[in-house]
Chain A
Amino acid sequence: SYVLTQPPSVSVAPGKTATITCGGNNIGTKSVHWYQQKPGQAPVVVIYYDRDRPSGIPERFSGSNSGNTATLTISRVEAGDEADFYCQVWDSSRDHLVLFGGGTKLTVL
Protein backbone atom coordinates (compact mmCIF):
# COMPACT_ATOMS: atom_id res chain seq x y z
CA SER A 1 0.00 0.00 0.00
CA TYR A 2 1.05 3.58 -0.60
CA VAL A 3 2.75 5.26 2.34
CA LEU A 4 3.58 8.91 2.99
CA THR A 5 6.62 9.40 5.22
CA GLN A 6 7.24 12.59 7.19
CA PRO A 7 9.93 13.32 9.79
CA PRO A 8 8.34 13.30 13.25
CA SER A 9 9.86 16.62 14.19
CA VAL A 10 11.63 19.64 12.78
CA SER A 11 13.14 22.43 14.85
CA VAL A 12 14.08 25.87 13.61
CA ALA A 13 15.10 29.20 15.08
CA PRO A 14 12.91 32.23 14.52
CA GLY A 15 13.66 33.99 11.27
CA LYS A 16 15.20 30.90 9.70
CA THR A 17 13.74 28.55 7.09
CA ALA A 18 11.93 25.32 7.96
CA THR A 19 11.78 22.47 5.48
CA ILE A 20 9.29 19.65 6.01
CA THR A 21 9.42 16.69 3.65
CA CYS A 22 6.82 14.13 2.60
CA GLY A 23 8.20 11.03 0.96
CA GLY A 24 6.31 8.60 -1.24
CA ASN A 25 6.94 6.40 -4.25
CA ASN A 26 6.74 8.67 -7.31
CA ILE A 27 4.89 11.25 -5.26
CA GLY A 28 5.85 13.75 -7.94
CA THR A 29 3.11 12.23 -10.10
CA LYS A 30 0.46 13.06 -7.51
CA SER A 31 -0.98 16.31 -6.19
CA VAL A 32 0.14 16.99 -2.62
CA HIS A 33 -1.73 19.11 -0.12
CA TRP A 34 -0.41 20.40 3.20
CA TYR A 35 -2.27 21.19 6.43
CA GLN A 36 -1.26 23.04 9.57
CA GLN A 37 -2.85 21.97 12.85
CA LYS A 38 -2.33 23.94 16.03
CA PRO A 39 -3.15 22.35 19.41
CA GLY A 40 -6.86 21.95 20.00
CA GLN A 41 -7.75 23.30 16.56
CA ALA A 42 -8.97 21.87 13.29
CA PRO A 43 -6.46 21.63 10.43
CA VAL A 44 -6.07 24.47 7.97
CA VAL A 45 -4.80 23.96 4.44
CA VAL A 46 -1.64 25.96 3.80
CA ILE A 47 -0.65 24.55 0.38
CA TYR A 48 -2.79 22.72 -2.19
CA TYR A 49 -1.91 21.20 -5.55
CA ASP A 50 1.76 21.02 -4.60
CA ARG A 51 2.40 24.77 -4.56
CA ASP A 52 -0.81 26.82 -4.53
CA ARG A 53 -1.45 28.96 -1.48
CA PRO A 54 -4.97 29.77 -0.23
CA SER A 55 -5.87 33.36 0.38
CA GLY A 56 -4.88 34.38 3.85
CA ILE A 57 -1.85 32.10 4.01
CA PRO A 58 1.38 34.12 4.15
CA GLU A 59 3.74 34.03 1.18
CA ARG A 60 6.32 32.62 3.58
CA PHE A 61 4.66 29.22 2.99
CA SER A 62 5.63 27.49 -0.24
CA GLY A 63 5.55 23.98 -1.65
CA SER A 64 7.25 21.82 -4.23
CA ASN A 65 6.92 18.25 -5.43
CA SER A 66 9.25 16.14 -7.56
CA GLY A 67 10.42 12.57 -7.77
CA ASN A 68 9.85 10.81 -4.46
CA THR A 69 9.65 13.89 -2.23
CA ALA A 70 7.24 16.74 -1.70
CA THR A 71 8.44 19.66 0.38
CA LEU A 72 6.78 22.35 2.46
CA THR A 73 9.04 25.33 3.06
CA ILE A 74 8.35 28.01 5.63
CA SER A 75 10.57 31.05 5.33
CA ARG A 76 11.27 33.57 8.08
CA VAL A 77 9.70 31.29 10.64
CA GLU A 78 7.71 32.93 13.43
CA ALA A 79 6.74 31.61 16.84
CA GLY A 80 3.13 31.45 15.67
CA ASP A 81 4.06 28.89 12.99
CA GLU A 82 4.65 26.24 15.64
CA ALA A 83 2.22 23.41 14.86
CA ASP A 84 1.82 19.94 13.42
CA PHE A 85 1.99 19.75 9.64
CA TYR A 86 0.49 16.96 7.54
CA CYS A 87 0.85 16.13 3.87
CA GLN A 88 -2.02 14.45 2.01
CA VAL A 89 -2.58 12.90 -1.41
CA TRP A 90 -5.43 11.34 -3.32
CA ASP A 91 -4.55 8.13 -5.05
CA SER A 92 -6.97 8.14 -7.97
CA SER A 93 -5.71 4.76 -9.13
CA ARG A 94 -6.46 2.73 -6.01
CA ASP A 95 -9.99 2.82 -4.60
CA HIS A 96 -9.78 6.61 -4.78
CA LEU A 97 -7.84 6.37 -1.54
CA VAL A 98 -7.09 9.50 0.47
CA LEU A 99 -3.85 9.24 2.42
CA PHE A 100 -2.20 11.41 5.06
CA GLY A 101 1.37 11.50 6.18
CA GLY A 102 2.08 10.80 9.82
CA GLY A 103 2.67 14.47 10.60
CA THR A 104 5.63 16.63 11.52
CA LYS A 105 5.82 18.66 14.71
CA LEU A 106 7.42 22.02 13.92
CA THR A 107 9.12 23.52 16.96
CA VAL A 108 10.28 27.12 16.90
CA LEU A 109 13.29 27.38 19.19
Chain B
Amino acid sequence: QVQLQESGPGLVKPSETLSLTCTVSGGSINFYYWAWIRQPPGEGFEWIGYIYYSGSTDYNPSLKSRVTISVDTSKNQFSLNLTSVTAADTAIYYCARIPTSGSVWFDPWGQGTLVTVSS
Protein backbone atom coordinates (compact mmCIF):
# COMPACT_ATOMS: atom_id res chain seq x y z
CA GLN B 1 0.00 0.00 0.00
CA VAL B 2 0.98 3.63 -0.34
CA GLN B 3 3.42 4.92 2.26
CA LEU B 4 4.66 8.45 2.83
CA GLN B 5 7.89 9.57 4.45
CA GLU B 6 8.82 13.12 5.43
CA SER B 7 12.43 14.25 5.37
CA GLY B 8 14.30 17.46 6.08
CA PRO B 9 16.11 19.39 8.80
CA GLY B 10 14.82 19.02 12.34
CA LEU B 11 16.13 22.42 13.40
CA VAL B 12 15.63 25.71 11.59
CA LYS B 13 16.76 29.16 12.70
CA PRO B 14 14.26 31.99 13.12
CA SER B 15 13.68 34.04 9.95
CA GLU B 16 15.02 31.22 7.76
CA THR B 17 13.12 28.86 5.45
CA LEU B 18 11.75 25.49 6.52
CA SER B 19 12.05 22.93 3.71
CA LEU B 20 10.60 19.43 3.83
CA THR B 21 10.13 16.68 1.26
CA CYS B 22 7.60 13.87 1.26
CA THR B 23 8.51 10.72 -0.64
CA VAL B 24 5.65 8.52 -1.82
CA SER B 25 6.29 4.80 -2.13
CA GLY B 26 4.10 1.85 -3.03
CA GLY B 27 2.08 3.86 -5.52
CA SER B 28 2.19 6.70 -7.99
CA ILE B 29 1.90 10.35 -7.10
CA ASN B 30 -0.10 10.86 -10.29
CA PHE B 31 -3.82 11.63 -10.26
CA TYR B 32 -3.97 12.45 -6.56
CA TYR B 33 -3.89 15.51 -4.34
CA TRP B 34 -1.20 15.61 -1.66
CA ALA B 35 -1.18 17.67 1.53
CA TRP B 36 0.92 19.09 4.33
CA ILE B 37 -0.52 19.34 7.83
CA ARG B 38 1.21 20.35 11.05
CA GLN B 39 0.66 19.79 14.76
CA PRO B 40 2.40 21.92 17.40
CA PRO B 41 3.52 19.76 20.32
CA GLY B 42 0.55 18.89 22.51
CA GLU B 43 -1.91 20.72 20.27
CA GLY B 44 -4.31 20.05 17.41
CA PHE B 45 -3.85 20.06 13.66
CA GLU B 46 -3.44 22.92 11.21
CA TRP B 47 -3.81 22.34 7.48
CA ILE B 48 -0.99 24.01 5.53
CA GLY B 49 -1.96 23.31 1.95
CA TYR B 50 -2.29 20.75 -0.82
CA ILE B 51 -1.14 20.20 -4.36
CA TYR B 52 -2.45 18.21 -7.30
CA TYR B 53 0.05 16.05 -9.16
CA SER B 54 -0.25 18.50 -12.05
CA GLY B 55 0.94 21.33 -9.81
CA SER B 56 -2.20 23.25 -8.88
CA THR B 57 -2.27 24.29 -5.23
CA ASP B 58 -4.46 25.56 -2.41
CA TYR B 59 -3.04 27.05 0.76
CA ASN B 60 -4.33 27.94 4.20
CA PRO B 61 -5.00 31.70 4.00
CA SER B 62 -3.28 32.19 7.35
CA LEU B 63 -0.01 30.84 5.90
CA LYS B 64 -0.43 31.62 2.22
CA SER B 65 2.08 34.46 2.12
CA ARG B 66 4.87 32.21 3.40
CA VAL B 67 4.06 28.79 1.90
CA THR B 68 5.01 27.11 -1.34
CA ILE B 69 4.19 23.48 -2.11
CA SER B 70 5.71 21.88 -5.20
CA VAL B 71 5.66 18.43 -6.79
CA ASP B 72 8.23 16.34 -8.66
CA THR B 73 6.40 13.48 -10.34
CA SER B 74 9.64 12.00 -11.71
CA LYS B 75 10.80 11.41 -8.14
CA ASN B 76 7.36 10.65 -6.69
CA GLN B 77 7.90 13.48 -4.23
CA PHE B 78 6.30 16.70 -3.15
CA SER B 79 7.80 19.43 -1.03
CA LEU B 80 7.00 22.21 1.42
CA ASN B 81 8.77 25.54 1.80
CA LEU B 82 7.78 27.84 4.64
CA THR B 83 9.62 31.14 4.78
CA SER B 84 10.41 33.55 7.62
CA VAL B 85 9.81 30.99 10.34
CA THR B 86 9.36 31.83 14.00
CA ALA B 87 9.02 29.74 17.14
CA ALA B 88 5.29 29.51 16.40
CA ASP B 89 6.15 27.29 13.43
CA THR B 90 7.63 24.63 15.69
CA ALA B 91 5.52 21.55 15.07
CA ILE B 92 5.33 18.00 13.84
CA TYR B 93 4.89 18.26 10.08
CA TYR B 94 2.92 15.54 8.34
CA CYS B 95 2.42 14.81 4.69
CA ALA B 96 -0.68 12.95 3.57
CA ARG B 97 -2.63 11.82 0.53
CA ILE B 98 -6.11 13.04 -0.30
CA PRO B 99 -7.79 9.82 -1.45
CA THR B 100 -10.83 10.98 -3.39
CA SER B 101 -12.44 13.96 -5.03
CA GLY B 102 -15.61 15.52 -3.64
CA SER B 103 -14.15 16.37 -0.26
CA VAL B 104 -10.75 16.71 1.30
CA TRP B 105 -9.64 14.12 3.82
CA PHE B 106 -6.33 12.49 4.51
CA ASP B 107 -5.24 8.88 4.18
CA PRO B 108 -2.61 7.72 4.67
CA TRP B 109 -0.38 10.06 6.65
CA GLY B 110 3.37 9.99 6.93
CA GLN B 111 4.88 9.30 10.31
CA GLY B 112 5.58 13.01 10.79
CA THR B 113 8.77 14.92 11.40
CA LEU B 114 9.40 17.35 14.25
CA VAL B 115 10.76 20.70 13.16
CA THR B 116 11.99 23.03 15.87
CA VAL B 117 12.57 26.70 15.18
CA SER B 118 15.32 27.96 17.42
CA SER B 119 18.59 29.82 17.23
**Please, what's the 1-or-0 string for B1-41, where 1 marks a CB less than 8 Å from any CB in chain A?**
00000000000000000000000000000000001000000
Q: How many residues of A contact B (CB 8 A)?
A: 24
By beta carbon, the residue of chain B nearest A47 is B105
Q: Is the CB of B44 within 8 A of A54?
A: no
By beta carbon, the residue of chain A nearest B6 is A42
Interface bracket on B: 20 to 34
Name the B residues within 8 Å of A45 (CB-CB). Answer: 105-107
* Cβ-defined partner of B47 (8 Å) among A42, A92, A99, A102: A99
Q: Is the CB of A101 within 8 A of B61?
A: no
* Cβ-defined partner of A96 (8 Å) among B58, B102, B109, B111: B58
* Residues of A78-109 whose CB lies within 8 A of B: 86, 88, 90, 92, 95-103
* Cβ-defined partner of A90 (8 Å) among B46, B103, B107: B103
Report which A residues bind B (CB closer than 8 A).
31, 33, 35, 41-45, 48-49, 54, 86, 88, 90, 92, 95-103
Shortest 7 CB-CB distances between A and B: which pairs? A98-B47, A90-B104, A33-B105, A31-B103, A42-B109, A100-B45, A45-B107
